[in-house]
Amino acid sequence: MDTPPKLRLFVDAALSPGAGLALPADQAHYLLTVMRAGAGTPVAVFNGRDGEWLAALEPVGRKGACLHLRAPLRPQEAEPDLWLLFAPIKRARIDFIAEKATELGVSVLQPVFTRHTVMSRVNDERLRAIAVEAAEQCERLSVPMVRPAQALDTLLAAWPNERRLILLDEGGGGRPVAEALTALPPGPAALLVGPEGGFAPSEQTALRALPFAVPVGLGPRILRADTAALAALACYQALCGDGALPPRLSSLS
């Protein structure tokens, strides 16, 4: 079996037959220097709108590169409409959330400030870079949108009623996750995971009273925020999302 080096890039530009894409310096550096790819090397590209395309690499000048689109590989597909709302936590763990949530197919990464949130800033650019890399690696056709951090109250005040808010509720009283997700009506959803200190009691009461809230419990062990986010995402995809689809075979191998 002929297995060319597997290179896969997310790009911003529109993808159409015969198009040539000048690559930004960091992607040119990655292909030419890090991966030592030469003229004609096949590269898969996607932009979140136009499906996945096969392209050929052309070095330009001393350090530049462009890609020539050759043929479509896969059409753009609908993906689960699932947001992840999470309180910013320590850097290693927030990086982890961005990577794993991308692999597990969230459409939006939304940092939220809750009453017990310790961190006051979020590096959106960093989260986006991690999401792009994870999307390239896991054969996704899209990159989750990283939204600017917001106060949870503000976000909930303008919440679209039809979007279910799955509340990861370590305070007890949530319905077991498999039972709650099996009963969830189809439609847009969001998962909300609190900060390491949990929600404030008044906040928890208010959250549970929201008409679109679905409080779920994740079992007897008290999970870290990042573990809880991931475990709930995995269960959502298995029970309500695209978990029944077969793995995408690698586009270039």
Stretch that binds a copy of itself, among 24-32, 39-47, 53-61, 217-225 (CB under 8 A): 217-225
243 interacts with a copy of itself by CB under 8 A = yes
User: Do the Cβ atoms of 162 and 155 come closer than 8 Å?
Assistant: no
**What is the smallest separation between the CB atom of 7 and a copy of itself, expressed in angstroms?**
15
DSSP-assigned beta bridge partners for residue 54: 44, 71
231 interacts with a copy of itself by CB under 8 A = yes
**What is the smallest separation between the CB atom of 200 and a copy of itself, expressed in angstroms?**
13
Measure the CA–CA gap between 82 and 19, rounded to whole angstroms.
Answer: 32
From candidates 16, 33, 137, 154, binder to a copy of itself by CB under 8 A: 137
Chain-centroid distance of CA 51 in Å reads: 17
Stretch that binds a copy of itself, among 20-28, 30-38, 57-65, 165-173 (CB under 8 A): 165-173
Number of other residues whose CB lies within 10 A of the CB of residue 108: 15
What one-character DSSP code corresponds to residue 172? S
- Looking at the Cβ atoms of 127 and 156, the one nearer to a copy of itself is 127
First to last CA, the chain: 8
From candidates 96, 124, 212, 252, binder to a copy of itself by CB under 8 A: 96
**Would you state the structure tokens that stand for residue 240, as one six-digit string?**
């309500």
- Looking at the Cβ atoms of 88 and 241, the one nearer to a copy of itself is 241
